[in-house]
Amino acid sequence: MRLAVIHIGQETNDFNPVPTTMRDYESFGLFEGEAVFEQFRGVGQVGGYLAAVDEAGRQIRSVPIIRGWATAGGRITTEARLFFEDKIRAGLQAAGKIDGLALQLHGACAAEDMDDVEGAQIELCRSILGPGVPIVVSLDHHANITRKMVGLSTAIVAHRTQPHDPFDTGKIGAELLIRIVAGEVKPVMAWRKLRLISHQEQFLTSKGPMKVWFDRARAMEAADPRVLHVGNCPMQPWLDVAEGGWASIVVVDGDRALAEKLADEIAGLAWSMRAEFQKKDAVPIDVAVRMADEAPSGVVCLSDTGDTVFGGAAGDSNLILESILRLGIKSTGLIPMIEPVTVARLIEAGVRATVTLPIGGHAATAFFRPLEVTGTVRRIGDGRVRLEEHRAPGIDMGRTVVFEVGPVTMLISELRGVAGNVPAVYRAFGVEPIEYKMAVLKTASNFQYFAPISSPVIRVDTRGPGQSDVAGLPWKRIPRPIYPLEEVGSWRG
Ligand SMILES: [Zn+2]
């Protein structure tokens, strides 16, 4: 059989006004043709696809088309949307006759001019391949599942854990595609949309209500071999689109009635725990900073929930920095920031210069105001780093400055990259995280990179485009009523 592979990913945060451009994709590398397999063997969804092909023990010819990925951020530009549509069109047309498509997407990508970018990408693939060629779509489970996605794909699978395991998702998607093309299974999909959103504080699948919900999905798969996949999709809470909301998808071999029954059950289970998903663990900023300062040892991680770069926030919050300076904290800390204008000013001043300038709050102006600080430029870099922990080829942080402000060492970059969420990114600029008492992480869930060198994470209740106060976000397009913004009588709305 001949299978084509496409991997395109970006997660959109509608409350970050900075658009995601082609440069953001390029900062993680854009790969086409065989280079996709060369770069990602063993890594991510593409790596999972290749593992499934290797293990299938069948004659499979693979046609890799493109791999493009950007860190979560603001809506993608129309230029970026059209770029990928052109690549899909040209790639599938050049591929000739294929028997199936592994379509690896995020599922929560919106463009300046379009809510449902991935629905349109699936539609494009379907229009080129025709109705008979299986398309298995594998998604980040923080996707927003839409009518178009379900209606035009053959099957959808989604991440089974948070933190994510993209390799696993790519593998189960490819395994399913191979079985479909081989004629072993004939999938039917049932899905349910819930009038439900939640902040991200209960998103880890290892504990709490998310564990209950995901464990039930796995149990459904284990109980009956006809159940091919149960995908729970708690949409990330920053996507303000007309079809927004959580969903469940059930893929069953042949038996529609079973798929519908299980879809009702798994959606109902999430709905029954809707209040538990809203539980907040985050503590006020000053409390969190004092806890970190007084902790017996470091590195204490402070999760800046509102400014989660991995959740698409702009990365320009100065709220925790402000607290550390105002409280006169003496413990050392690490804080990353993404702010091209500040990088330019500090580079102009030069290494060892002492500079007074306003920092932070230049992008997400609805949430932050610039804070005037005085600090010293310690190092200037070009921002290219290679991160083994991130299991990806080298990334480009753009020009990057290490800037010392009182007890705080700031890593200020032009591009989003991985913000300061991976220790190696600091080491690349000559900063050893182990020597610090606290580190601000621009993520609300992905603590795994710092885990080997840190003590438990303190979740800080910061405002920002990723804030836990979802009711306080300026929603415009999401369907209403939706829980918890309103009381809703039934998950069917
Ligand atoms: Zn996700």
C-alpha 452 – ligand 1 centre gap (Å): 22
Residue 413 tokens read as: 């970059």
Same domain, 256 and 302: no
Domain-located, residue 400: yes
How far away, in angstroms, is 341 Cα from ligand 1 center?
A: 29
Decide: helix, strand or coil at residue 303: strand
Q: What is the CATH classification number for the domain harbouring 68?
A: 3.40.50.2300
CA of 273 to the centre of ligand 1 (A): 20
Q: Identify whether 216 is part of a domain.
A: yes
Calculate how far, in angstroms, residue 351's C-alpha sits from the geometric centre of ligand 1.
Answer: 38
CA of 192 to the centre of ligand 1 (A): 19
Owner of token pair 């086409």: 32
| Residue 88 one-letter amino acid | I
Q: Among 233, 250, 277, identify where a domain stops.
A: 277
Domain assignment of residue 373, given as a range: 285-467
Instruction: Confirm if 338 and 38 have CB atoms less than 8 A apart.
Output: no
Ligand 1: distance of its center to the CA of 443 in Å? 11
Question: Per-residue confidence of the chain (493 residues) as pLDDT tens digits?
Answer: 999 999 999 999 999 999 999 999 999 889 999 999 999 999 999 999 999 999 999 999 999 999 999 999 999 999 999 999 999 999 999 999 999 999 999 999 999 999 999 999 999 999 999 999 999 999 999 999 999 999 999 999 999 999 999 999 999 999 999 999 999 999 999 999 999 999 999 999 999 999 999 999 999 999 999 999 999 999 999 999 999 999 999 999 999 999 999 999 999 999 999 999 999 999 999 999 999 999 999 899 999 999 999 999 999 999 999 999 999 999 999 999 999 999 999 999 999 999 999 999 999 999 999 999 999 999 999 888 887 755 556 789 999 999 999 999 999 999 998 999 999 999 999 999 999 999 999 998 889 999 999 888 999 999 999 999 999 999 999 999 999 999 998 877 5
- Position 414 in a domain: yes
Give me ligand 1 centre to Cα 480, in Å: 23
Distance CA 130, CA 143 (A): 25
Q: How far apart are CA 318 and CA 368, in angstroms?
A: 7
Shared domain for 248 and 313, answered yes or no, is no
How far apart are the CA of 107 and the centre of ligand 1, in A?
A: 9
Residue 112: predicted pLDDT: 98
Q: Which residues of 182-221 are buried (b: 16+ CB within 10 A; e: fewer)?
A: eeebebbbbbbbbbbbbbbbbbbbeebbbeebbebbeebb
Are 271 and 376 members of one domain? no
**What angle, rounded to 10 degrees, do the helices at 256-272 and 208-223 form?**
160
Task: Output the CA 138–ligand 1 centroid distance in Å.
Answer: 12
Sign of CA dihedral 270, 273, 278, 281: negative
How remote is the CA of residue 69 from the centroid of ligand 1, in Å?
13
Q: Distance between CA atoms of 277 and 483, rounded to whole angstroms?
A: 11
* One domain, residues 242 and 309: no
Same domain, 273 and 342: no
CA of residue 433 to ligand 1 center, whole Å: 26
* Residue (of 264, 300, 306) closest to 282 by Cα position: 306
Q: Report the distance separating Cα 426 and Cα 415, nearest Å.
A: 15
Q: CA-CA distance, 400 to 315, in Å (whole number)?
A: 14
Distance 158 CA to ligand 1 centre (A): 10
* Residue 489 resides in a domain: no
> How far, in Å, is the centroid of ligand 1 from the Cα of 169?
12
Centre of ligand 1 to C-alpha 125, Å, is 23
pLDDT for position 351: 98
pLDDT at position 12: 98
Q: Does one domain contain both 326 and 453?
A: yes
Q: How far is the CA of 307 from the centre of ligand 1 (A)?
A: 16
Q: Give residue 310 CA to ligand 1 midpoint distance, Å.
A: 9
Domain membership of residue 479 (yes or no) is no
Residue 385 lies in a domain: yes
In the reported structure, the alpha carbon of residue 10 is separated from the centroid of ligand 1 by a whole-number distance in angstroms of 10
CA of 132 to the centre of ligand 1 (A): 30
Distance CA 484, CA 479 (A): 12
- If asked whether residues 146 and 104 sit together in one domain, one would say yes
Ligand 1 centre distance from Cα of residue 456 (Å): 22
Domain assignment of residue 319, yes or no: yes
Taking residue 356's Cβ as centre, other Cβ atoms within 10 Å add up to 8
Domain end point (choices 231, 247, 277): 277
Q: Give 175 Cα–ligand 1 centroid separation in angstroms.
A: 21
For residue 164, how far is its CA from the centre of ligand 1 (angstroms)?
7
Separation of CA 246 and ligand 1 centre (Å): 13
How remote is the C-alpha of 485 from its chain's centroid?
23
Q: What is the pTM of this model?
A: 0.94
Q: Which residues have C-beta within 8 Å of that of residue 438, sequence separation ≥ 6?
A: 289, 292, 293, 295, 298, 299, 300, 301, 302, 331, 332, 333, 334
Between the CA of 47 and the centroid of ligand 1 the distance, in Å, is 18
CA 235 / ligand 1 centre spacing (Å): 8
What pLDDT score was predicted for residue 135?
Answer: 98
Count how many domains the chain has.
2
Instruction: Order across the sheet with 354-359: list the strands.
Output: 354-359, 371-381, 400-405, 408-413, 333-338, 438-441, 300-304, 455-460
Could you tell me if 270 and 304 lie in one domain?
no
CB 8 within 8 A of CB 139: no
Domain co-membership, 305 together with 369: yes
Q: 292 and 259 in one domain?
A: no
Q: In angstroms, what is the span from residue 285 Cα to ligand 1's centroid? A: 25
How remote is the CA of residue 142 from the centroid of ligand 1, in Å?
A: 5
Smallest CA-to-CA distance from 361 within 389, 339, 384, 329 is with 339
Q: For 287, list phi and psi in degrees, rounded to 5.
A: -65, -45
CB 112, CB 76: distance < 8 Å: yes
Distance 140 CA to ligand 1 centre (A): 5
- Dihedral-angle region of residue 459 (phi above 0 means left; psi in -120 to 50 means alpha; beta otherwise): beta
Instruction: Report yes or no: 362 and 370 within 8 Å, Cβ to Cβ.
Output: yes
Please give the angle made by the CA atoms of 282, 442 and 118, to the nearest 5 degrees: 105
Q: How far is the CA of 379 from the centre of ligand 1 (A)?
A: 33
Distance (angstroms) between ligand 1 centre and the Cα of 233 equals 9
Q: Are residues 139 and 219 in the same domain?
A: yes
The pLDDT assigned to 386 comes to 81
CA 106 to ligand 1 center in whole angstroms? 8
Residues 190 and 328 in one domain: no
Q: Which of 215, 244, 277 is the last residue before a domain boundary?
A: 277
The CA 387 to ligand 1 mean position distance, Å, reads 20
Return residues with CB closer than 5 A to ligand 1 (ion): 140, 142
- Looking at the DSSP bridge assignments, the partners of residue 114 are 111
Distance CA 368, CA 391 (A): 33
On the CB side of 78, CA atoms within 13 Å amount to 3
Distance 370 CA to ligand 1 centre (A): 30
- Classify residue 359: in a domain, yes or no: yes
Q: Quick one: pLDDT at residue 456?
A: 80
